[in-house]
C-alpha cells in the first residue's frame, strides 16, 4: 500500500542547503540492486542546521480509524509512529493588530471580523486550504515532528524496509520506459534500467511526469490537457540560522503575516508564513541557535523569474528586492533583537530555486484547480501500468491528501482480499 507514500515527503530536508534526496517515479517490485547516485549526495554546508523546505504544519498523527488523517493511517499500517510535540496556537499579524490564534472550536473568524473587518474574514477563508478547517474542530491539536519533518520521512522509510520494501534513495529518474505501449520500468540518470514487475508509479508532478515520457507514448490530447492545466504560482523562501539569545523566550513556532487586506490574500508578496521549528525541536539547530523558514505561500509569479540566469546581476538584484518583504515580517515577528546581518545562515530561494531543488515544473505549488469548478484527475493514465499519485492527482495538494493519493493507487494495484486485510488492520 505504501510504496509511494514517502515520495510525497522526501524533499522535506534542507534543499537550498544543497542536500538533494530524490526518489519518485520509481518502479514497484524492482528486481535490480539499487544504489544511490553519488553525485546527488553532498555534505551539509551548514553543520548543525536542518531546515524544513516544505510542510511544517501537521496535525492528526495520533488519529486512528475511519476519520483519521490518511498519513496517520499509512503510518498505522506500517506499524510506525512519529514522535511529535503538540501545541495549539500560532501568531497572526495583521495591518491593524496582532494576536495569538488558538485552534479548536474558537471564534477565530469572528475575532477576525472584530479586530480587522468582515472583508478580512472573507479574505481569510481563501486560506482555508485542506487542513485549516480541521483545526477549528473540537479536540484538535497541532503537532510538530521531533527531528523536523524529515522525521516523517524516516518513519515511512523504516516502515517500508521493515516490510521488505527496497528503496533507492538519491536516484534521478531520467525516463519512464514504455515498451509495446506499456510502462515497463524507469531509466535512471546512472544509466541503470529498473524493470517494473507490476507497475510504474510516478510521484513527480503531472507536468514533470509528462516530460519523462516518450512523446509518442501518450495521446496528444492527454498531453495537451496536462500542459493546459493551470498552475498555482510559486514561492519565495527565506531560510535563516541565527543566535537565539536576543529573541523573546516565548517565541511561538508559527506566524502568519498579512500586509494589506486591500490587495487580497492571494496577491504576491502580501502574505508571509514563518516557521521556527527549533523552538520545539532543539536538535534542528546548534545549541543556542534557531532555524527559521519564511515563505510566500504559492503567490510568487514564476513569470517574473523565467529565463533569468541565476548568476546574473539582474537575478541577484531581483532576489534582494523580493526578499525584502520576508525580512521585514521576520523582524516584526521576532522583535528588535533580531538582526538579519547577524544571521549565521541566510539563504534566499526563488521560484527558480524551488523548481530546481524541489523539482517542480515552474516551481508550482500544484494545479490551480478550484473546488466546485473542476476535479483533480484520477491515478490511472492512458498508458497501461503507469500510475501517478501526487498532489496533481485526486484529492489534491497537502501532505494528508498526497498520502491518500498514494493509498488509493496502492489499493488499485493489489487484490481485493489484500485490500480488505489492510483495511481491517488499520480499523477502517
Ligand X SMILES: Cc1cc2nc3c(=O)[nH]c(=O)nc-3n(C[C@H](O)[C@H](O)[C@H](O)COP(=O)(O)OP(=O)(O)OC[C@H]3O[C@@H](n4cnc5c(N)ncnc54)[C@H](O)[C@@H]3O)c2cc1C
Q: Which residues contact ligand X by CB under 6 A? A: 7-8, 10-11, 22-25, 54-57, 172-173, 203-204, 208, 235, 295, 358-360, 365, 390-391, 397-399, 402
**Closest residue to ligand X using C-beta atoms:** 8
CB of 360 to ligand X, least distance (A): 6
Q: Which is nearer to ligand X, 122 or 187 (CB)?
A: 187
CB of 44 to ligand X, least distance (A): 17
CB of 344 to ligand X, least distance (A): 22
Cell numbers 510542510 label which residue? 55
CB of 25 to ligand X, least distance (A): 5
Q: Which of 45, 48, 13 is nearest to 286 (CA)?
A: 48
Q: Which of 315, 314, 337, 338 is nearest to 327 (CA)?
A: 338
Q: Which is nearer to ligand X, 7 or 185 (CB)?
A: 7
* SS3 of residue 183 by DSSP: strand
CB of 113 to ligand X, least distance (A): 26
* CA distance linking residue 392 with residue 122, whole number of Å: 27
* CA distance linking residue 351 with residue 360, whole number of Å: 10
Q: Which is nearer to ligand X, 212 or 343 (CB)?
A: 212
Q: Which is nearer to ligand X, 116 or 322 (CB)?
A: 322
Grid coordinates given for 175: 525516463
Residues 130 and 396: beta-carbon distance below 8 Å: yes
Grid coordinates given for 393: 492527482
Cell numbers 485552534 label which residue? 103
* CA distance linking residue 166 with residue 28, whole number of Å: 9
Q: Which is nearer to ligand X, 116 or 277 (CB)?
A: 277
254-258 and 89-93 beta bridge pairing: parallel
CB within 8 A of 137, min separation 6: which ones?
104, 105
Q: Which is nearer to ligand X, 14 or 398 (CB)?
A: 398
CB of 340 to ligand X, least distance (A): 20
CB of 149 to ligand X, least distance (A): 8
Q: Which of 150, 190, 152 is nearest to 170 (CA)?
A: 190
Q: Which is nearer to ligand X, 8 or 352 (CB)?
A: 8
* SS3 of residue 83 by DSSP: coil
Amino acid at each position: 500500500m505504501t510504496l509511494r507514500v514517502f515520495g510525497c515527503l522526501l524533499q522535506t530536508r534542507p534543499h537550498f542547503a544543497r542536500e538533494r534526496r530524490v526518489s519518485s517515479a520509481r518502479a514497484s517490485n524492482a528486481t535490480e540492486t539499487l544504489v544511490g547516485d553519488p553525485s546527488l549526495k553532498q555534505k551539509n554546508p551548514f553543520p548543525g542546521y536542518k531546515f524544513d523546505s516544505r510542510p511544517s504544519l501537521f496535525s492528526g498523527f495520533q488519529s486512528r480509524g475511519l476519520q483519521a488523517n490518511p498519513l496517520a493511517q499509512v503510518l498505522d499500517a506500517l506499524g510506525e509512529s512519529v514522535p511529535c510535540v503538540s501545541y495549539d496556537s500560532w501568531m497572526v499579524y495583521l495591518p491593524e493588530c496582532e494576536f495569538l490564534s488558538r485552534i479548536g472550536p474558537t471564534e477565530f473568524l469572528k475575532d477576525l471580523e472584530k479586530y480587522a473587518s468582515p472583508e478580512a474574514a472573507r479574505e481569510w477563508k481563501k486560506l482555508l486550504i485542506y487542513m485549516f478547517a480541521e483545526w477549528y474542530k473540537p479536540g484538535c491539536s497541532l503537532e510538530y515532528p521531533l527531528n523536523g519533518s524529515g522525521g516523517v520521512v524516516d518513519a515511512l522509510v523504516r516502515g517500508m524496509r521493515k516490510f521488505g520494501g527496497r528503496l533507492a534513495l538519491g536516484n534521478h529518474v531520467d525516463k519512464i520506459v514504455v515498451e509495446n505501449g506499456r510502462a515497463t520500468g524507469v531509466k535512471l540518470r546512472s544509466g541503470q534500467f529498473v524493470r517494473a514487475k507490476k507497475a510504474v508509479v510516478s510521484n513527480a508532478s503531472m507536468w514533470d511526469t509528462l516530460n519523462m515520457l516518450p512523446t509518442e507514448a501518450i495521446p496528444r490530447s492527454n498531453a495537451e490537457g496536462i500542459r493546459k492545466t493551470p498552475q498555482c504560482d510559486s514561492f519565495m523562501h527565506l531560510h535563516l540560522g541565527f543566535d537565539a539569545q536576543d529573541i523573546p523566550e516565548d517565541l511561538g513556532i508559527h506566524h502568519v503575516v498579512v500586509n494589506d487586506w486591500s490587495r487580497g490574500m492571494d496577491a504576491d508578496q502580501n502574505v508571509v508564513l514563518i516557521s521556527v521549528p527549533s523552538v520545539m525541536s532543539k536538535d534542528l539547530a546548534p545549541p543556542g541557535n534557531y532555524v527559521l523558514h519564511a515563505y510566500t505561500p504559492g503567490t510568487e509569479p514564476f513569470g517574473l523569474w523565467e529565463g533569468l540566469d541565476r548568476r546574473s546581476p539582474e537575478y541577484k538584484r531581483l532576489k534582494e528586492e523580493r526578499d525584502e518583504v520576508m525580512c521585514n515580517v521576520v523582524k516584526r515577528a521576532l522583535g528588535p533583537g533580531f538582526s538579519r546581518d547577524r544571521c549565521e545562515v541566510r539563504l534566499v530561494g526563488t521560484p527558480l530555486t524551488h523548481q530546481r531543488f524541489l523539482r517542480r515544473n515552474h516551481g508550482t505549488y500544484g494545479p490551480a484547480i478550484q473546488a466546485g469548478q473542476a476535479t483533480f484527475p484520477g491515478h490511472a493514465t492512458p498508458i497501461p501500468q503507469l500510475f501517478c499519485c501526487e498532489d496533481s492527482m485526486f484529492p489534491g495538494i497537502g501532505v494528508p491528501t498526497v498520502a491518500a493519493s498514494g493509498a488509493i493507487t496502492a489499493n488499485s494495484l493489489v487484490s481485493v482480499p489484500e485490500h480488505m486485510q489492510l483495511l481491517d488492520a488499520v480499523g477502517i
